[in-house]
Amino acid sequence: MADPLIRKEHYNRIVEDIDQLPALPAIVSRLMQVVNSPDTSAEDAAGLIERDPALTGKMLRLANSAFYGIPRTISSVSSAVVILGFNTIKSLVLSASVMQIFPGTNGRQLFDRKKFWRHSIVTAIAAKTIVRQYMRVKMMDPESAFCAGILHDIGKLIFEQYLHDEYQQACTYAREQHVPLLDAETQVLGINHAQVGRILADKWALPIELEHTIVSHHEPDPSSDMIDLIAAVHLANFMTHELRITVFDDEASRPEWPQARTMLKIDDDIYGRLFHSVQDELEKSDEFFSIVS
């Protein structure tokens, strides 16, 4: 375990450096407010998005991509909002904005941001797929699950950006000892990416359900009000590891939370179908990354 003084030093450095991190673009914060208002129209949301030409271009490319499979051409942002829905638009804007702040790398380092984002996107797809299945039992928002999947490991990027050399040591330790990266972070740095994710979620004033999944997706708390969403993202992350979509080869996975499938009413047959469904979506994850990033 890292020395307590080293742990405190790392924590203080991260808190200090996160203060220098760009805030989420104003359009993201405003859009999250707008789409939650019962008085919002498609034109209101479209008007916000259209203020950012780059974001408008990404939105239209995604809306017309195989990722969503809309059988007609979408030529305007307002049409995209109407067809895809407010929550889908919100998740796309948030994803695009965060990926712009933390773009992919060229893969020379052990921690490869492109692999990181692929893992995150596939986890998002898996979480959305799981929630759609679970909606037969209890209503949940698939797009909240998608957003939570995109952001579940965001603390790793804070480590990689602000404690770069030390984090490479943690990654090396995880690979050589074949232990989960979360445990290697605690061993080498004295703090893990879920704890760091909470700091970032607070800075960006992310919705409470996103903060809870960032903090608890490795160790779900059954008493949490958000346990259904947390369990879905936890299982989606585990599924993505089973697909071997990780930030480096042979990355060890934390064990599956024993209550996850029971809580989500997923038996072995359903899990198998969900797994193959996500596997079939892998090419779409590459398309999503290429457009959004």
Is residue 234 within 8 Å of residue 257, measured between CB atoms?
yes
Q: Which residues contact 208 (CB under 8 A, 6 or more apart)?
A: 226
What topology does CATH give the domain 4-22+104-292? Hypothetical protein af1432 (1.10.3210)
pLDDT at 228: 95
* Count of Cβ atoms closer than 10 Å to residue 16 Cβ: 10
pLDDT at 7: 64
pLDDT at 107: 57
Domain range summary for the chain, segments of one domain joined by +? 4-22+104-292
pLDDT at 3: 60
pLDDT at 106: 56
Residues of the chain with pLDDT under 70: 1-7, 11, 104-108
pLDDT at 171: 94
**Longest pairwise C-alpha distance within the chain:** 59
Q: Is 178 left (phi over 0), alpha (psi -120 to 50) or beta?
A: left
Q: In whole angstroms, what is the distance from residue 238 CA to residue 241 CA?
A: 5
pLDDT at 124: 95
Tokens of 135: 């909606």
Q: What is the pTM of this model?
A: 0.90
Q: In whole angstroms, what is the distance from residue 266 CA to residue 155 CA?
A: 29
Q: DSSP per residue over 101-115, as a string?
A: HS----S-SSS-HHH
